[in-house]
Amino acid sequence: MTLAELLAECQGVASHPGQQQRYNGHKCVRPQPTGELTSERGTMTSATMSCVGVFDVDANLQEKDSVDCYSGEMLLSESPRTVSGIDAFVCVRDSSALPSPPFGKKLPGPRPFEDGTVDVKRCARKRRIRFGSLTASGGDATRSYKMAYRIYRPELLGSTERAPIVAIHGGPSLPSQYLYPLAEQFPDRSVIFYDQLGCGKSCSPSDLGVYGLAKSVDDLESLLDSLKVPRFHLFGHSFGGVIAYEYCKRLAEKAGREDPGWMDDPDILSVMLSNTFTCAKLCNTERDRLLSELSSGALSRVDTEEDLEEKFWQLHQCCLSSTPSALEDAINHWGVPWHERPSSPLSSYTALPPSRWASDLPPALIIRGERDFVTPACVKGWRGAIWNHEDVTEATLKGCAHYCHLEDATAFGSLAWGFCQGLDP
């Protein structure tokens, strides 16, 4: 029986190419979990199982191989069971903690994640008044701030087959935990998250002068220099996508000019821009238009401004019946709103194409939800007008708004995982 036949035979299969292809040549399916599974961690019911995998006994998978291949995220049943007429081991994903070793044997398992910090620097310029004007004085000081990061599956960071994902959160100042579910959507890679200055576990200076788009790109460079990642896939959500693009453009222009040290820059295999606008003013205009349509009763009747905002959230920001806990936690810990100051350059941001002498930007995947307030008009410039080549893939996820990776994790994960797999070294 082929893999396709097995998948067709099982009902309720939650297809995920990452887990099907990792056992290439083996029989592998993911049926809807039913009943109970007993392991050293107790009994798990269908309500607590996030997915089930079935692996053919004839595949001769070694116990330790099973743990390593899934980066320590699988629990295996203690005896074979018959599924679809095949004697198989039933596996359950449970990423909430380190799993029990399979078959009751104590096997070394990797840590689920690793936390750390990197120093990012700012120039604290001393100024004095001279002849009625402000001029810089000598001896400008440099200050360092701690920027926190988290790496899922750190043991795979140096993989030569599956390059890591570097994920950049939006907001600005919306902490990175709402992106953590991405680690489940890239189950065979390291995934690097970090909190930009002003939010999460990173320092939050009160001086608004330390924040800005160019400085955020500098901080990303500092993180990658510290981790010494030679190649990676770059992911940016919303404003994080703006940082991702500006970083890619900076490296492309640096390589095109052959600036000193350009050959030592890391290799960006691809960039994924999720729900990312090309023009801040246009995005705000589109958001106001959608709000106006809603308040005029075009979609439903609302009584108060609070009702309007709640309805807008459900229609154009997160199309789920309840806000996912990871997103709710991030919103409740929103950081320094540095972008709201009148002089913020972000309010007038427009993505510009690289200089004509720049090297090619990496292949790109542009994703948005069909209900996102980042409308088609807000993203259409990425392909053609901005990207300096045609290797750009666009995708719109049905039934989603601004948080596609949470609203339809299966569709988003399959799309993003397959895109990266095709561009691995």
Model confidence over 294-341: pLDDT tens digits?
887 645 555 677 778 888 999 999 999 899 999 999 999 999 888 777
Q: Does residue 375 fall inside a structural domain?
A: yes
What does the alpha-carbon distance between residue 20 and residue 5 come to, in Å, rounded to a whole number? 13
Domain stops at, among 72, 104, 136 = 104
How does the average pLDDT of the chain come out, rounded? 74
Domain stops at, among 34, 69, 104 = 104
Does 348 lie in the same domain as 222?
A: yes
Domain stops at, among 77, 104, 131 = 104
Does 272 lie in the same domain as 213?
A: yes
What does the alpha-carbon distance between residue 324 and residue 335 come to, in Å, rounded to a whole number? 19
| pLDDT score of 62 | 32
Q: Does residue 109 fall inside a structural domain?
A: no
Q: Does residue 204 fall inside a structural domain?
A: yes
Does 227 lie in the same domain as 90?
A: no
Does 98 lie in the same domain as 199?
A: no
Model confidence over 251-272: pLDDT tens digits?
999 888 877 777 778 899 999 9
- The CATH number of residue 359's host domain is 3.40.50.1820
Does 354 lie in the same domain as 221?
A: yes
Does 258 lie in the same domain as 181?
A: yes
The whole domain housing 42 covers 3-104
Q: What is the pTM of this model?
A: 0.71
Q: Does residue 141 fall inside a structural domain?
A: no
Q: Does residue 124 fall inside a structural domain?
A: no
If one counts the domains in the chain, the total is 2
Does 13 lie in the same domain as 98?
A: yes
Q: Does residue 125 fall inside a structural domain?
A: no
Higher per-residue pLDDT: 144 or 128:
144
| pLDDT score of 362 | 94
Does 175 lie in the same domain as 254?
A: yes
Does 171 lie in the same domain as 75?
A: no
Does 368 lie in the same domain as 249?
A: yes
Q: Does residue 134 fall inside a structural domain?
A: no
Does 410 lie in the same domain as 356?
A: yes
Does 355 lie in the same domain as 286?
A: yes
